[in-house]
Structure formats: C-alpha cells, structure tokens
Amino acid sequence: MPKVLVVDQDESLLIQICSWLESQHLTVETASTGAACQKLLAKHLFDVVVLDWHLAAPTGLEMIKWFRSRGGRSPLLVLMGSDDIEDKVAAFAAGADDCLSKPLALRELAVRVNALRRRSMTSYSRIVEGPLTIDPTMHTASISGHMLSLTATEFALLEYIALHPNNVLSPTVLLNNVWKDSMDTSCDTVRAYVKRLRQKLEAVGYRNLIENVHGVGYRLNTTAAETAQVAGFPVGSLVSAFAPYQ
C-alpha cells in the first residue's frame, strides 16, 4: 500500500489524521517533532509527506529546506495554522507541493494526499541522475546510453539509491526498504548485492557511481567524474575517496 508520513505536534490531530488515512487504504507513519521526522525520512521512502508548518525547531520551513537539500523527492503537503499568504509563499518557495489550512477537513486531506501521490508517480516515471537514467515503468536502467542488465533486486536497489542521491544509505536502511521480507535477509546480503551491482557498473566505466562511505554505507555519486576508456568508448569513471564498506 502507498506509504504516507504525517508530522504534527498536535498528538490528538495526529491520531485523527492517521486513523482517517488508514481507512483510505494508506500505510501511515507518524512523528510529532522535526527531529523524529528527520530520522524517519533518513530511513524510509514515503509516497507523500504531510508536514505541520508550526513545528518547534526544526520548524516546518526548516524541515522542507532540509529535506529538499538532501535530495528528497517525496511530495510535501504542508498543514498551515492560517491562510497567511506569506507563509504559503515561503512554503512553496522552499519546496512544498501543496498547502492546506487548519482546521482540517479530513476528506479533503485524503483527496489531496492521493492527488499528490498520483502526480508523483507520473513525475517520477524517469529518474535521471548524472549519467544514470532509470525508467521504473519500463523497468530499464542505462548509463551514458548503455543499457544495464539487472536482476529485479539489483534494479530495485539501484532505483532506491538513485532516489536518494545525496544521502548516505546504510545496509540496514537498504535492507528495510528494498527487500520485501527483510526478516529472512541480512546486511551481508545487501553488501553482496551492492558489490555485484558495482561490478556491472564497472563494466561500463562507472563502478564508483555507487560510492562507499567507510563504516557508514553507500551514496550515489554523480560528481567528480573523470574520463575513462571502456570497451572502445569514452565514459565517466567516478573515483571514491573512501575505503570499501565491509
């Protein structure tokens, strides 16, 4: 089911929103502070994030800027305490996708959440990060125009990493978000899949497109490219400044 994160400092309202969205067949995670929200966003990919503008530090505005600066792509629906036009302008300028004023009409909230979810599914039909292009609809991935032959799990892994281009993702985070049944899989399996994926990227000159951050995890690195010659054609080769994560 689609996954929604709802963040609001009003605990009673949080319960109401959660209950209503779950009745609309949505999976809901909740947080009542910006700090708790950051932890969830660092670990999980959400289809929509519903965010209280009036959070204590970090504030709603700070949360929007933080999320977008880290490459967060999930649609953001901001809950406003009033119809103040200046607040709405600031929210949209920072990266919000929609705003809704309190008191909330829960039916309208659900409609807006679903509209954002459908819109994001369309807008993310292709993921382009540097030389990497992923088409989730066609289930294809290419790098500098060269198609990659990936298993279903390798594709899902590369897609998840590409959706978080500025984030360092630990094996645990990848395990929880890529593998459907993480109970029967270990972080060693994640490391093995990353190694195999990097070998396939290496075949077209981009082994370090997935960068190892020693002792932490993995990160998509589309910068610091240098020219290489692989299989008779020039491609970019990314050089990692970190020792392999083991």
| CA–CA dist 117, 57 (Å, integer) | 27
Q: Is it the case that residue 244 has pLDDT exceeding 80?
A: no
Answer whether residue 108 is part of any domain: yes
Report pLDDT digits (tens) over 138-196.
Answer: 889 998 888 999 999 999 999 989 888 778 899 988 988 888 766 678 899 999 999 99
Answer whether residue 160 is part of any domain: yes
Answer whether residue 132 is part of any domain: no
Count of beta carbons in the 10 Å neighbourhood of residue 241: 11
| Secondary structure (3-state) at 17 | helix
| pLDDT confidence of residue 100 | 94
Are 107 and 176 members of one domain? no
Report pLDDT digits (tens) over 74-127.
Answer: 899 999 988 889 999 999 999 999 999 999 999 999 999 999 988 766 555 678
Answer whether residue 145 is part of any domain: no
| pLDDT confidence of residue 124 | 58
Are 12 and 109 members of one domain? yes
The CATH number of the domain where 228 resides is what? Answer: 1.10.10.10
The CATH number of the domain where 51 resides is what? Answer: 3.40.50.2300
Are 40 and 87 members of one domain? yes
What are the backbone dihedrals phi and psi of residue 96, each rounded to the nearest 5 degrees, phi first? -70, 150
Q: Is it the case that residue 246 has pLDDT exceeding 60?
A: no
239, two tokens: 């050089």
206: domain range?
A: 152-238
Q: Is it the case that residue 233 has pLDDT exceeding 70?
A: no
Are 67 and 76 in contact by the 8 Å Cβ rule? The answer is yes
Q: Among candidates 196, 239, 242, 197, which has minimal Cα distance to 216? A: 242
Report pLDDT digits (tens) over 18-54.
Answer: 999 999 989 999 999 999 999 898 878 888 999 999 9
Are 118 and 178 members of one domain? no
Answer whether residue 245 is part of any domain: no
Domain boundary among 123, 144, 166: 123
Are 106 and 159 members of one domain? no
Answer whether residue 179 is part of any domain: yes
Answer whether residue 141 is part of any domain: no
Report pLDDT digits (tens) over 50-66.
Answer: 999 999 889 999 999 99
Type of residue found at 74: S
Domain boundary among 123, 143, 168: 123
| CA–CA dist 134, 143 (Å, integer) | 9
Report pTM: 0.61
Q: What residue has token string 């990919």?
A: 45
Are 14 and 84 members of one domain? yes
Q: Report the phi/psi class of residue 231: left, alpha or beta, with left for phi > 0 and alpha for psi in -120 to 50.
A: left
Q: Among candidates 55, 53, 1, which has minimal Cα distance to 28? A: 1
Give me the DSSP letters along 134-145.
EETTTTEEEETT
| CA–CA dist 214, 203 (Å, integer) | 23
Q: Is it the case that residue 226 has pLDDT exceeding 80?
A: no
Are 61 and 92 in contact by the 8 Å Cβ rule? The answer is no
| pLDDT confidence of residue 35 | 93
Strand 27-31 and strand 76-80: the pairing is unpaired
The domain total for the chain is 2
